[in-house]
Amino acid sequence: MAGEILDNRGRGEVSWHFPKFHPESYKFAAIAAAASGLCAFFAWETLAWPLAALTLGILAFFRDPERVTPQGDRFIVAPADGLITLIQQVEPPRELVIDDGTGAPGLPSGPVTRISIFMSVFDVHINRAPLGGTVRRVVYIPGKFMNADLDKASEENERQHILIERSEGAMIGFTQIAGLVARRIVPFVKPGDMLAAGQRVGLIRFGSRVDVYLPAGTEPRVLMGQRTVAGETVLAEIGQQQLIEGVSQ
């Protein structure tokens, strides 16, 4: 059909592409590859082969495949690849609620549904915007490096909150949380940036978790134990009532 979108870039023909690697991988892979080459030069094969495997593992960790984001203004898509380990009613983080002095509104107080997605070292670690809109807050908080699968990791681990506001005023917040192995959260966005749903917003190195705070009254469309694909899996759908409330705020 003329004008039909055939690929995830909105043009051309459908075909398989070898996944790209994020530039963050280059220095780590180069160090491992150089060490492997040095060991091979001195015939230290017991070290050379494991280091060569480590080089490939680093590249695999930082792979950045293309994703096809569902088209629909009401869809809230998963910001991370991984396993849904928690779906709970909680108060949103105070950093996303309180007045931050910029004049931009925060999330309303009161219990909301939080969906927690745990990313193992084998998952893609590029995080994506759950919906389109303007970035209102990016708040980094230093903390511990406990197992990201624990509930208390949301309040005690190193983390970064991001708040996105849609054009009609509806907002969603999500949090990147470092884990036992993850030691750095790398943001790609800043307040004022305008994002499309599924756009890359950052990454967390080497195993972590992302919490998504659904707008009040929004029911999740996923279950605990389900695996998600960043930018593709629909977590929930914003209802008409939430859109009306967003406009009236």
| Parallel, antiparallel or unpaired: strands 159-165 and 133-141 | antiparallel
* 40: phi then psi, degrees, rounded to nearest 5: -65, -35
Residue of 113, 105, 86 lying closest to 177 (CA atoms)? 86
Residue 36 is a catalytic residue: no
CA dist 110 and 91 (Å) reads: 6
CA dist 107 and 241 (Å) reads: 16
Q: What angle do CA 17, 21, 27 make, to 5 degrees?
A: 155
Give whole-number Cα distances, 219 to 109, 191, 206, 236, 240, in Å.
Answer: 18, 28, 31, 6, 13
H-type alpha helices, 131-196:
153-156
Instruction: Supply the DSSP symbol for 168.
Output: T
Contact 188, 55 (CB under 8 A): no
Candidate list 15, 120, 208, 248, residue with the active-site label = 208
DSSP helix/strand/coil, 174: strand
The alpha carbon of 98 is separated from its chain's Cα centroid by a whole number of angstroms, namely 23
Instruction: Supply the DSSP symbol for 91.
Output: P
> If residue 202 lies in a helix (H) or strand (E), which one and from where to where?
strand 200-204
Q: Which residues are catalytic?
A: 208
